[in-house]
């Protein structure tokens, strides 16, 4: 799939689950192509969200959308097939949860999905160098994973810039995704810093006019793009 970068990816964790299908359709009608699904197990992160059954429902509601499944779980290898079967296009796993990360990335690909690796705010991107040639996407957490609505960690800008530099230095073309606390106040600068995929939960769904908010965020993201130093 080719995408018009930068991509705004709503995180449905922040949606109203009593009308999840309607809110997903509203996003799609507003031009959204990429949907971020946050999977939490209550062990790797101190919260529980939802599982493959909900991802399957999202797939049934949005057959043409790109489903970006973010596994914040221990032992992700045990669930890769389930989420691939549920309709994931991309599955990302945490560096901190994968003692055999190369094998896990291969497992994701063998299940027909694009593969992403995620780093928490305190994890250096330098640790990712050996796996970067194997992944389609790197997700930089700009909050501590587990909850939506948290404050953006400002040092994430520098982390994005440093990763974009490493990508150029290694002549690779993985996507750079940011996740957590993305809003009207930082989305243009994040795009300018080199972010390709901007995950936004609260700033998309915690409003009474989702289409208007999506339009605002998309415009800001595109104004920041192309100014990369």
Closest CA to 65 of 104, 40, 92, 37: 37
The option from Zn ion, ligand DX5, none interacting with 13 (CB < 5 to 8 A, set by class) reads ligand DX5
Say whether 38 is catalytic.
yes
The option from ligand DX5, Zn ion, none interacting with 68 (CB < 5 to 8 A, set by class) reads none
- Would you tell me how many other CB atoms lie within 10 Å of the CB of residue 46? 11
Among the residue ranges 19-27, 67-75, 95-103, 169-177, the one whose residues contact Zn ion (CB under 5 A): 67-75
Among the residue ranges 36-44, 77-85, 147-155, 216-224, the one whose residues contact Zn ion (CB under 5 A): 36-44
Q: Quick one: 38 or 196, whose CB is closer to Zn ion?
A: 38
What is the binding site for ligand DX5 (CB under 6 A)?
A: 11, 13-14, 36, 38, 70, 72, 143, 145-146, 148-150, 179-182, 199-203
Q: In what order do the strands lie in the sheet with 175-179?
A: 7-10, 197-200, 175-179, 137-141, 114-119, 90-94, 66-72, 34-40
Q: Does 177 bind Zn ion (CB under 5 A)?
A: no
| Cα separation, 227 vs 210, whole angstroms | 27
| Cα separation, 205 vs 116, whole angstroms | 25
Q: Which one of the listed residues 38, 41, 68, 196 is annotated catalytic?
A: 38
Q: Quick one: 43 or 227, whose CB is closer to Zn ion?
A: 43
Read off φ and ψ for residue 66, nearest 5 degrees: -95, 115
Sole residue written with tokens 């970068």: 5
Say whether 60 is catalytic.
no
Q: How far is the CB of 3 from ligand DX5 (least distance, A)?
A: 18
- Tell me if 90 sits within 8 A of 137, measured CB to CB: yes
Q: Does 179 bind Zn ion (CB under 5 A)?
A: yes
- Would you tell me how many other CB atoms lie within 10 Å of the CB of residue 132? 16
The option from ligand DX5, Zn ion, none interacting with 87 (CB < 5 to 8 A, set by class) reads none
Active site residues: 38, 179
By CB under 5 A, name the binding residues for Zn ion: 38, 70, 179
């Amino acid at each position: 799939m080719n995408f018009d970068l930068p991509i705004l990816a709503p995180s449905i964790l922040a949606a109203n689950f009593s009308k999840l299908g309607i809110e997903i359709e509203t996003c799609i009608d507003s031009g959204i192509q990429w949907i971020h699904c946050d999977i939490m197990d209550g062990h790797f992160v101190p919260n529980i969200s939802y599982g493959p059954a909900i991802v399957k429902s999202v797939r049934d509601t949005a057959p043409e959308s790109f489903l970006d499944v973010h596994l914040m779980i221990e032992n992700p290898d045990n669930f890769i097939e389930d989420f691939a079967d549920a309709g994931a296009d991309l599955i990302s796993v945490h560096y901190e949860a994968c003692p055999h990360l190369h094998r896990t990335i291969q497992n994701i690909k063998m299940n027909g999905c694009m593969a992403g690796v995620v780093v928490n705010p305190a994890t250096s991107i330098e640790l990712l160098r050996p796996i970067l040639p194997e992944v389609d996407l790197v997700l930089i957490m700009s909050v501590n994973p587990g909850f939506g609505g948290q404050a953006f960690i400002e040092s994430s800008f520098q982390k994005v810039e440093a990763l974009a530099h490493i990508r150029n230095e290694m002549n690779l073309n993985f996507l750079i995704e940011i996740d957590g606390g993305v809003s009207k106040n930082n989305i243009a600068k994040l795009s300018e810093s080199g972010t390709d995929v901007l995950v936004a939960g609260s700033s998309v769904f915690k409003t009474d006019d989702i289409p208007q908010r999506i339009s605002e965020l998309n415009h800001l993201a595109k104004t920041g793009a192309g100014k990369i130093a």
